Structure 1
Amino acid sequence: MKMIEGFKVKIGTLCISSVLRDITNHMLGVNYGEEIYYGLGCGLFFAYTMSNEVVGLGGFTDLILDNLRDSLTLTKVETYAPDDVVFDKIRFSIDAGLPVLVSGLHFHSKEDLALDTEATEKLDLPMNYHYTIIAGYDDETKELFMADNKSSGNVSYENFLKFRDHRNMLTQFLFPPTLEHLDARIYAAIRKLTDYWYRMPENPKSFADVYTTDFLHLSNVYNTMEGLENFRKLFLHGPEMESLENFQKSMFFIQAISYRGTGGDMTRGLYSRFLREGGAITGEDKMLEVSKLYATAAREWRKFFKIFDGNPTVIYEQIKDETQNSVFFEAIEQVYQCEMTAMSALNDLAYGK
């Protein structure tokens, strides 16, 4: 196996912030955690999505990659690589010591791959936007060494071609010599994030939009503050409650995508750690205070997901029964209040109030 010398991979919460951590740390010789890259990518987000049958929650923006490019002053290079030339291009990059980023299904985990397949079948969602690094190749065994946020190992050339995104793109990054003025970059990312929430609610679109707008024929997509308000007002009062089948689809979305895809807490724990590390880097005590608020929000989201982790038929009947449903609506209110408190404090931090 021809490997990029010294390249190290670690597990993480999200695929994109984990792989960018590994690539950037290697190329610049630094050792920052995933939380720094998630925060610099302005990843914290909320979306409430609805179709005629299904509702879903989105916890981070699909613009993390582009935001990170801007925050780290990187140059992103995308190359079209059809099947007949893709391995030549990968060999060239690995030989030059450059890791390659690809998107596709989960290349390693049979469990995650099975969930990808189930999501495609149940919700008609394309699940081929999972980011993975290529850091080695072996032409004798016809395998690639690949790593994502959960695992790493060898993937056959055959499976790579089978599971990669149909757009057939390879992505690489050109880096500046050093990563300077990280404190200023942290403040800029926090301000950009609060602008998304308060002043540009339609930008960026949520991660869920990429999948659901075209494939679930959504009638409504609510982002950031508008998303939170509609989640509080509409969740468990909309199309998901019109039939058991709709409810089962919505609960599958929430468990398989919203829960699994955000580390179990809508990435609030990850953002809390970003603020904690950011406070240490900048010396800003207020970041540590806001970090605690997002840690609280993370705990409340975990509680929220837990009460929906059970037999959908039983939960559906409990929600419809006014003598049993208070626990569900109290959980909605609790996460809403935590979100509003934390974001208000973050906005004050961003603009020095």
Structure 2
Amino acid sequence: MVLLEDFQHRLSVTCRAGNIRDVLAYKGHSMSEAMVFGVANSLSFYYVLPDETLERSEYVLISGNSHLGLEDVASNLSLSYETWLPESEEQKWKHVRELLEAGHPVFMDAVLSMYMHHLRATPLFGMGGSAAEREGFVSNWDDMFSRLQIPAGTHLAVVIGLDEEKGEAYIIENNLSGIQTVPIRVLAEASNPKMDVTLHPQGRYSIYNIPQELPALAQTISRAIPMTMQSFLGGDFPWRGIGALDRLARDLRHWPEMLPMEFVENSMHMIYYVSEVASGGGLYRRLYSRYLKEAAAICGDDRLAAVSKEYQVLAKQWRTFTKGLSDGAGRAAETLRSESLNDLIGEIAAQERKAAETLAEWLPGGELAR
């Protein structure tokens, strides 16, 4: 058995930023989930129709963040990042054990719905969790994903131990307070399913090599904020950034003509799930608001605190919009023609552009763009 016994875990609203926060803390660097999310250049917007991707999907792919967080955190915090796609399951788990023995928590991409029913809280390090917490977590996922025929592979867990005699892996789940165990054979299948999966994890696993000292946070923030916003505003990709958000505002009322009705209804539920369950509220805008508030204190710049409040408003607008879609999925065509919802997504797009343009020109000690 190998186990990182000093690993401490706190609940988080996102699997990537929260798990990266825990791994950084294990290596001696205290940082909030919101700060990790911000310096990862994570805030974005994606809108991809099923026929615009090679992925097999039963819904419109919509997200408020970029899944490049692992790579961008490494770049912005001067970490060494390594990732592998295994040649075989035997080789993979042998290597995972070696990484754990060397003191590395291992990030593992996986299809959560394929192993969540096997999770079992383990009373390690004083963090036992509860059966009620686990059941609520599983129920939330089942409510959304039971309607889909093709599972989604967008989850990230952290492996902190293996007990090969018992056939168990010890893992961190961001939504559960206790250390969890899951059968290694089940986690192996969930990390590299032999079936069609939207955003297939392909068996991917990764680590950070984390130095004793990181760059000053003020310096990292000063680079990350303009970079994030320039990426959001720039580029010619119709499926990413402000262009994708503008396109959603144009497309929304036409979804019934563009997609099979089952896909339309799935999409209307999924966007609410992503906004309010998977991202901590407001399509990740609430989390980014918290980041800007922290950044304002670190950089001694109240102007960031002012823009933080704009993202609080955007988070509330996104919640209203996505809840309206989910609540109205049973009468999809009528809901999607709603003038109030179409006006609201247009207003959101305009406010997103305004906030991003403001931050894209921000420099510490300088003037925010007006």
Pairwise same-fold verdict (TM > 0.5): yes
Distance in 2, matches of 1:55 and 1:163, equals: 23
Does the residue aligned with 1:35 lie in a helix, a strand or coil?
helix
Q: How does 1:186-205 map to 2 (within 5 A)?
A: 186-202=221-237
Of 77, 85, 90, the residue aligned with 2:91 is 85
Kindly indicate whether the alpha-carbon contact (under 8 Å) linking 1:56 and 1:258 is maintained by their aligned counterparts in 2: no
Kindly indicate whether the alpha-carbon contact (under 8 Å) linking 2:12 and 2:175 is maintained by their aligned counterparts in 1: yes
Q: Which moved more, 1:245-254 or 1:3-12?
A: 245-254
- Residue 229 of structure 1 and its aligned partner are, at CA, apart by 1.7
- Does residue 344 of structure 2 align to residue 339 of structure 1? no
Kindly indicate whether the alpha-carbon contact (under 8 Å) linking 2:284 and 2:315 is maintained by their aligned counterparts in 1: yes
Distance in 2, matches of 1:39 and 1:65, equals: 12
Q: How does 1:1-353 map to 2 (within 5 A)?
A: 2-27=2-27, 29-51=28-50, 55-81=60-86, 82-106=88-112, 107-108=115-116, 110-111=138-139, 114=142, 118=146, 121=149, 124=150, 127-151=152-176, 152-166=179-193, 167-202=202-237, 221-239=238-256, 244-257=261-274, 259-310=276-327, 312-320=329-337, 325-350=338-363, 352=367, 353=369
Kindly indicate whether the alpha-carbon contact (under 8 Å) linking 2:256 and 2:333 is maintained by their aligned counterparts in 1: no
- Residue 55 of structure 1 and its aligned partner are, at CA, apart by 3.9
Instruction: Tell me the amino acid that sits aligned with residue 157 of structure 1.
Output: I
In structure 1, stretches of 5+ residues that fail to align are 203-220
- Residue 112 of structure 1 and its aligned partner are, at CA, apart by 6.1
Identical-residue share of aligned pairs (%): 23
Distance in 2, matches of 1:326 and 1:274, equals: 33
Does the residue aligned with 2:157 lie in a helix, a strand or coil?
strand
Does the residue aligned with 2:267 lie in a helix, a strand or coil?
helix
Kindly indicate whether the alpha-carbon contact (under 8 Å) linking 1:116 and 1:127 is maintained by their aligned counterparts in 2: no
Instruction: Tell me the amino acid that sits aligned with residue 183 of structure 1.
Output: A
Instruction: Tell me the amino acid that sits aligned with residue 345 of structure 1.
Output: T
Distance 1:119 1:346, change over 3 A: farther
> Once the two structures are superposed, what CA deviation does each residue of 1:158-189 show, in whole Å capped at 9, x if it has no partner?
21122113533331111122113211111101
In structure 2, stretches of 5+ residues that fail to align are 52-57, 117-136, 194-201
- Residue 290 of structure 1 and its aligned partner are, at CA, apart by 0.9
Q: Which moved more, 1:183-192 or 1:76-85?
A: 76-85
Aligned-pair Cα RMSD in Å: 2.6
Distance in 2, matches of 1:80 and 1:47, equals: 25
Instruction: Tell me the amino acid that sits aligned with residue 59 of structure 1.
Output: G
Q: TM-score normalised to the size of structure 1?
A: 0.83
Does the residue aligned with 1:140 lie in a helix, a strand or coil?
coil
Does the residue aligned with 2:230 lie in a helix, a strand or coil?
helix
Distance in 1, matches of 2:275 and 2:309, equals: 22
Distance in 2, matches of 1:267 and 1:290, equals: 15
Distance in 2, matches of 1:185 and 1:46, equals: 22
> Once the two structures are superposed, what CA deviation does each residue of 1:232-263 show, in whole Å capped at 9, x if it has no partner?
22212244677643432332432344554333
Distance 1:155 1:245, change over 3 A: closer
